[in-house]
Amino acid sequence: MNQSFHSHAAAANAELGRTSAVPRNERVAILCANWHRDIVHQARDAAVAEFARSGLSPSQVVHYEVPGAFEIPLLAKKLARSGRYDAIVACALVVNGGIYRHEFVTSAVIDGMMRVQLDTEVPVLSAVLTPRDFHEHEDHLRFYREHFVKKGVEVAQACLATLDNLGALVEPGRE
């Protein structure tokens, strides 16, 4: 099915005041780092809810966990090459613990994810947040839990828009 159909059908439903989503046929993998799991899973859960609102059933969204953000690019590459997923979403919180390592990890993870999507042509989207200042007191914990909900919705919307854009492309010889 042409993915641009989903955009047009969703727009038509919105104009008519309908709230039900048009079913979609894509499969998405969500990778979550276990560091700060209580915060990171806010993004995962919000993304899953947004996918469901947009027509992906829960069975089309598969969850994976990795020890930390540093392990995301390798699993993303393996999943992309498996051919089972149309897109991959990564969620993590890389905090500055007062050592230089945080900047190295951040760069390695984001660069690795970009390389995976360019090498495999499977979109890899990021809800990997790297705040400059993070302290484990209740104000920051509450702020980041709420912020990750927003980022989960945004990454799901970006994922679906990317899939729609890619689906609308017609490759030579595949018309």
CA 121 to chain centre: 15
Question: What dihedral do alpha carbons 36, 72, 60, 160 form, nearest 10°?
Answer: 90
Distance (Å, whole) CA 104 – CA 21: 41
Distance CA 152, CA 144 (A): 12
Q: Is residue 18 annotated as a catalytic residue, yes or no?
A: no
Residue 144's CB is within 10 A of a number of other CB atoms, namely 23
The catalytic position among 18, 37, 101, 142 is 101
Distance (Å, rounded) from C-alpha 105 to C-alpha 69? 8
Longest pairwise C-alpha distance within the chain: 57
Residues with catalytic roles: 101
